[in-house]
Amino acid sequence: MKALKIGVCGVGNVGGAVIENLTSSPQIVESNGGVKIEITQVGARKGKSAVPFDLDVTTNLLEVAQNPNIDVLVELIGGCDLAKDLIEESIKNGKNIVTANKALISTHGDELFDLAKKNGVQIGFEASVAGGTPVIKALREGLVANKVKWFAGILNGTTNYILSKMTDENSSFEDALKQAQELGLAEADPTMDVDGTDAAQKASILSALAFNTPFDFKSVAYGGIESVTPDDILYADQLGYSIKHIAYGSIEGEEVNVSAYPTFVSKDQLLSQVGQQMNALEIFCEDIGSTVYYGPGAGPKPTASAVIADLVDISNGGWPVLEDDIKKNTLCKEGKKTFSRYFKLDVKNEAGAIAKVSSLFAHENISIEALVQKESKQNSDIPSVPVVIISGPISDTNAFQMSGNLDSMEEITNSVKQFRIHNAL
Amino acid sequence: MKALKIGVCGVGNVGGAVIENLTSSPQIVESNGGVKIEITQVGARKGKSAVPFDLDVTTNLLEVAQNPNIDVLVELIGGCDLAKDLIEESIKNGKNIVTANKALISTHGDELFDLAKKNGVQIGFEASVAGGTPVIKALREGLVANKVKWFAGILNGTTNYILSKMTDENSSFEDALKQAQELGLAEADPTMDVDGTDAAQKASILSALAFNTPFDFKSVAYGGIESVTPDDILYADQLGYSIKHIAYGSIEGEEVNVSAYPTFVSKDQLLSQVGQQMNALEIFCEDIGSTVYYGPGAGPKPTASAVIADLVDISNGGWPVLEDDIKKNTLCKEGKKTFSRYFKLDVKNEAGAIAKVSSLFAHENISIEALVQKESKQNSDIPSVPVVIISGPISDTNAFQMSGNLDSMEEITNSVKQFRIHNAL
């Protein structure tokens, strides 16, 4: 049987799950993958006490990168500093890399892949997006014969859990977040999940594969779910939508737009049915239409599953190595891509106010597809009424501008809210 | 750039789509997959007139199998006779194989894989199940670190189109089939799709990968959708289910059961939302739970997409080659696996009839979870009333036996119908 000698750096939850899988049930990978994976060395900054396995442990991670007996370095320490040094040193020492590090790949991916190519080694990063759901494999291999037109994904489990909880149980954002934290689905500091950073990093990795763009997280536009209220979810439901945090990428000519925002998704779409902390990715290709991939997007065991799949792939020759002369497409932050929009306004309860709002839409040449003003039957003493407007397709720039214009109207009493509507066409 | 020289045998819809993709947009595969795929020879029994491309065409397919300039033979002629000879001859001549032939793989897979192993070549068969949706890749590679517990799949697009049409438009089976034929989604002779053969063949291929069983289509139990009526679909809907044709496989110890039958699927399951002619496969693994793969399951372009993905994989080293000494699990036709059931009976409209039916369930130790008798309020002149019973979990053997027992009761006026209920637990 083939054999692969690996070094594992980082023994947190994911590193622990990788070691646990490979030492307690090696027969699964041997029988399914035809390879014996041997953990030759473990790098743990806290030393042997942090590694409850009978393995060679060093606190000097660079020692693993330089160990001549190791074929593949598995990087599970995270972050962009030591992780980058470690990977570069390993590559220079002729080792293949498997990593779950989305921050690193989405920021320094091009540099690292260039270095890997020069040194004749490969980098596996299936675990960096959608955890145990093999979406990188689908893009990199399964759909290799196709031109991807767009993708839409629920890539952050924490926000999907929070939005699902708000939808199913009418929880507030704060209560849902608290529950997610209690269940270990959100960090003590949930900023990176909740504000959209995590999903945007993953989306930039998908873009590199789907659209041949640079790995360039800085060119992804994104926003978080903090502004979604139970009211929005109720309006969405009445209009036939679920609210999901959707990472969306599309190509038009040689220009690629990638972004990640809370988004209305029509209930007849599979993505709208993805509940709890689950992830899903829809990939639309020119000739074959949509394929959808659904599964666990995080957690030690799903992430370990992806890491080990990469190791088996490396033992079987790895992945396509692309030519240098293929021109990359451009990733643009200012998206020309248009979406229909949900605008939520609080409008002064006075004659002519709604007419003035509608006129502004007409003036800006934005069509109104639907207008809901639910509480107009209530008594006329209340100072303002909530109004929901579904607009025709407009770009992000126009939508932000329109929100600003509405905000500055004296008939609008509260900050205007605006979300995209995903139409899978 | 790497280069791969292929011979394509069979130039029907799928063969045509493969040649079209590789000759009209070679840059897609070159840029995504890092390989130049050259069609060195085409085998077409009808000769050059059947191949609207400027390629070397022979009517003698075995010539392609023996052509020393070819690395991979792509078999797209179908069936188990000439296709088998052709593949065997190619393997003996040191060629890798890519095939879309589910009938062949599900019947002679073990023989062919043994021969390939002896000759140091590989066989790609992604196109044999779920067309453009990379489910073989998910099982063979993406989930390689996991123990699969069960899978449930909508693997036949024709039946899913028919059932979706019956559900969405209250069509009869006959009308829906006719529409499928008009749209080219069903053959003139639709038997293999409608009676479950096609889904059962695919399920036996999935079983070999998921559970390490022989490729053994004969050990799959299956039934078709001809017996599903608009009434059944209405009852299903009222009880919170969709009716889908589900290929189901599970392992208990070393015993594997695989079967394919019309099945009630709870509306909160993703599989219940899979409409039109689409396919979907849910794979449940011990440590990571469910992943789901959705997409186009047939048609020239999706099938060509899978064939080409296999070609690129071969250029990158191919797939795991498993050891000979790994013991195969047993595929058993008589399933011990239990399912809740839907029984539809026509019961004589007379006092005590329903009580007698209920007693029979009690006597056979089968619990009744729900009993629906909708039309009992109608006038007492009608000779019989439809009754729906949802039973607790019982095996296929017990379910068939119970149907027989009910059929022989004099209180039952019409043939009893019985369907499984899929509980994803």
**Catalytic residue list contains A337:** no
Using an 8 Å Cβ cutoff, are A124 and A311 in contact? Answer: yes
Over residues A105-120, mean pLDDT: 97
> Which residue carries 């006129």 as its tokens?
A359
Torsion of CA B130, B133, B135, B138, to 10 degrees: 170
- Eight-class DSSP state of A412: B
User: What is the DSSP secondary-structure string of A187-220?
Assistant: -SS-HHHHTSHHHHHHHHHHHHHHH-----GGG-
Residues in chain B closer than 8 A to A137 (CB atoms): 134, 137-138, 141-142
Q: How many CB atoms lie within 10 A of CB B370?
A: 11
Shortest Cα–Cα distance, A270 to chain B (Å): 7
Quick one: which of A349, A20, A280 has its CA closest to A131? A280
Flag whether A362 is in a domain.
yes
Longest dimension (CA), chain B: 81
Of B144, B295, B305, the CB nearest to A33: B144
Q: Pick the catalytic residue from A95, A137, A149, A202.
A: A202
**One domain for residues B153 and B104:** no
pLDDT by residue (tens digit) across A238-270? 999 999 999 999 999 999 999 999 999 999 999
Q: Residue A180 has which token pair?
A: 């997610």
Collapsing DSSP states into helix, strand and coil, what is residue A172? coil
Flag whether A288 is in a domain.
yes
Shortest Cα–Cα distance, B57 to chain A (Å): 24
User: How many whole angstroms separate alpha carbon B343 and alpha carbon A411?
Assistant: 61
Question: Closest-CA residue in chain A for B302?
Answer: A288
Q: Does B290 touch chain A (CB under 8 A)?
A: yes
Of B133, B146, B312, the CB nearest to A141: B312
Instruction: Name residues 189-218 of chain A within 8 A of B (Cβ).
Output: 212
> Which residue carries 């009418």 as its tokens?
A170
Over residues A213-218, mean pLDDT: 96
User: What is the DSSP secondary-structure string of B77-121?
Assistant: S-SSSHHHHHHHHHHHTT-EEEE--HHHHHHHHHHHHHHHHHTT-
In this complex, how many residue pairs, one in chain A and one in chain B, have their CB atoms less than 8 Å apart? 184
Q: Residue B320 has which token pair?
A: 């795991």
User: How many whole angstroms separate alpha carbon B419 and alpha carbon B231?
Assistant: 13
Flag whether B322 is in a domain.
no
pLDDT along chain B (425 residues), means of 10: 96 97 96 96 96 96 98 97 98 98 97 97 98 97 97 98 97 96 93 97 98 96 96 96 98 95 96 97 97 96 98 94 85 90 95 94 96 70 91 96 96 96 80
Q: Is B392 exposed, middle or buried (0-12, 13-18, 19+ CB in 10 A)?
A: middle
- Helix and strand element counts for chain B (H, E): 14, 17
Shortest Cα–Cα distance, B268 to chain A (Å): 8
User: How many whole angstroms separate alpha carbon A172 and alpha carbon A231?
Assistant: 10
Q: CB distance A32–B320 less than 8 Å?
A: yes
User: How many whole angstroms separate alpha carbon B218 and alpha carbon B201?
Assistant: 9
Using an 8 Å Cβ cutoff, are A309 and B142 in contact? Answer: yes
Using an 8 Å Cβ cutoff, are A230 and A170 in contact? Answer: yes
Instruction: Name the CA radius of gyration of chain B, rounded.
Output: 24
Q: CB distance A289–B295 less than 8 Å?
A: yes
**One domain for residues B147 and B246:** yes
Shortest Cα–Cα distance, B100 to chain A (Å): 15
Helices A102-118 and A197-211, interaxial angle, to 10°? 30
Question: Closest-CA residue in chain B for A294?
Answer: B292
pLDDT by residue (tens digit) across A300-343? 999 999 999 999 999 999 998 888 778 899 999 887 899 999 99
Quick one: which of A278, A399, A230 has its CA closest to B289? A278
Q: CB distance A144–B32 less than 8 Å?
A: yes
User: How many whole angstroms separate alpha carbon A218 and alpha carbon A333?
Assistant: 8
| Strand arrangement of the beta sheet that strand A72-75 belongs to | A57-58, A35-43, A2-9, A72-75, A96-99, A123-124
Q: CB distance A34–B141 less than 8 Å?
A: no
Domain count, chain A: 3
Residue A376 has pLDDT above 60, yes or no: no
Residues in chain A closer than 8 A to B300 (CB atoms): none
Flag whether A230 is in a domain.
yes
Instruction: Name residues 324-353 of chain B within 8 A of A (Cβ).
Output: 326
Q: Does B293 touch chain A (CB under 8 A)?
A: yes
Q: How far is CA A176 from CA A161, A166, A168, A198, B107, in A?
A: 8, 7, 11, 19, 52
- Eight-class DSSP state of B422: E
Q: Residue B347 pairs with which residues in a beta bridge?
A: B385, B412
Domain-ending residue, one of B95, B124, B153: B124
Q: Residue B151 has which token pair?
A: 């899978």
Of A28, A126, A270, the CB nearest to B147: A28
Flag whether B63 is in a domain.
yes
Instruction: Name residues 132-171 of chain B within 8 A of A (Cβ).
Output: 132-134, 137-138, 141-147
Q: Does A32 touch chain B (CB under 8 A)?
A: yes
Residues in chain A closer than 8 A to B21 (CB atoms): 145, 287
Residue A381 has pLDDT above 80, yes or no: no
Flag whether A189 is in a domain.
yes
Of all helices (H) and strands (E), which one includes residue B255? strand B255-266
CATH number at residue B351: 3.30.70.260
**One domain for residues A160 and A96:** no
Flag whether A349 is in a domain.
yes
Domain-ending residue, one of A124, A147, A182: A124
Q: Over the range B258-285, which residues count as b (16 or more CB within 10 Å of their CB) and which as e?
A: bbbbbbbbbeebbbbbbbebbbbbbbbb
| pLDDT given at position A375 | 62
**One domain for residues A177 and A245:** yes
Domain-ending residue, one of B102, B124, B146: B124
User: How many whole angstroms separate alpha carbon B238 and alpha carbon B373?
Assistant: 12
Flag whether B386 is in a domain.
yes
Shortest Cα–Cα distance, A24 to chain B (Å): 12
**One domain for residues A153 and A265:** yes
Question: What is the sign, positive or negative, of the torsion defined by CA atoms of A305, A307, A310, A311?
Answer: negative
The CA-based angle B285-B286-B287, given to 5 degrees, is 100
Q: Residue B383 has which token pair?
A: 């000779």
Q: How far is CA B290 from CA B135, B150, B236, B269, B425, in A?
A: 13, 9, 24, 11, 10
Quick one: which of B94, B125, B132 has its CA closest to B110? B125
Q: How far is CA B418 from CA A375, B55, B155, B404, in A?
A: 50, 54, 21, 10
Residue A292 has pLDDT above 60, yes or no: yes
User: How many whole angstroms separate alpha carbon B244 and alpha carbon B272?
Assistant: 7
Q: How many CB atoms lie within 10 A of CB B189?
A: 9
pLDDT by residue (tens digit) across A354-365? 999 999 999 999
| Beta strand extents in A201-315 (DSSP E only) | 221-222, 241-252, 255-266, 278-285, 289-296
Mutant choice from A74, A288, A329 vs B, greatest count of B C-beta within 10 A:
A288
- Eight-class DSSP state of A16: H
Collapsing DSSP states into helix, strand and coil, what is residue B49? helix
Q: Does A3 touch chain B (CB under 8 A)?
A: no
User: What is the DSSP secondary-structure string of B356-392?
Assistant: HHHHHHHHTT--EEEEE-GGGGS-TTSSEEEEEEEEE
Q: CB distance A21–B273 less than 8 Å?
A: no
Q: Residue B43 pairs with which residues in a beta bridge?
A: B9, B58
Instruction: Name residues 342-401 of chain B within 8 A of A (Cβ).
Output: none
Using an 8 Å Cβ cutoff, are B105 and B131 in contact? Answer: no
**One domain for residues A101 and A172:** no
User: What is the DSSP secondary-structure string of A102-147?
Assistant: HHHHHHHHHHHHHHHHHTT--EE-GGGSSTTS-HHHIIIIITTTS-
**One domain for residues B256 and B157:** yes
**One domain for residues B109 and B42:** yes
**One domain for residues B382 and B356:** yes
Alpha carbon of residue B262 to chain centroid:
12
- Eight-class DSSP state of B290: E
| pLDDT given at position A425 | 60
**One domain for residues B94 and B164:** no
Mode of pairing for the β-strands spanning B384-395 and B368-372 = antiparallel
Q: Does B276 touch chain A (CB under 8 A)?
A: no
Residues in chain B closer than 8 A to A206 (CB atoms): none
Residue range of the domain that includes A355: 338-422
Residue A378 has pLDDT above 60, yes or no: no
Collapsing DSSP states into helix, strand and coil, what is residue B28? helix
| pLDDT given at position A414 | 92
User: How many whole angstroms separate alpha carbon B399 and alpha carbon B227?
Assistant: 16
Catalytic residue set of B: 202
Q: CB distance A288–B302 less than 8 Å?
A: yes
Q: How many CB atoms lie within 10 A of CB A169?
A: 11
User: What is the DSSP secondary-structure string of B140-180?
Assistant: IIITTTS-EEEEEEE--HHHHHHHHHHHHH---HHHHHHHH
**One domain for residues A148 and A275:** yes
Q: How far is CA A200 from CA A103, A122, A143, A260, in A?
A: 10, 24, 22, 6
Q: Does B300 touch chain A (CB under 8 A)?
A: no
> Which residue carries 């307690």 as its tokens?
A24
User: How many whole angstroms separate alpha carbon A65 and alpha carbon A297?
Assistant: 28
The CA-based angle A94-A100-A104, given to 5 degrees, is 80
**One domain for residues B109 and B153:** no
- Helix and strand element counts for chain A (H, E): 14, 17
pTM of the model: 0.96
ipTM: 0.96
Of B133, B304, B320, the CB nearest to A291: B133
User: How many whole angstroms separate alpha carbon A349 and alpha carbon B132?
Assistant: 55
Q: Does B279 touch chain A (CB under 8 A)?
A: no
Q: CB distance B309–A31 less than 8 Å?
A: no
CATH number at residue A244: 3.30.360.10
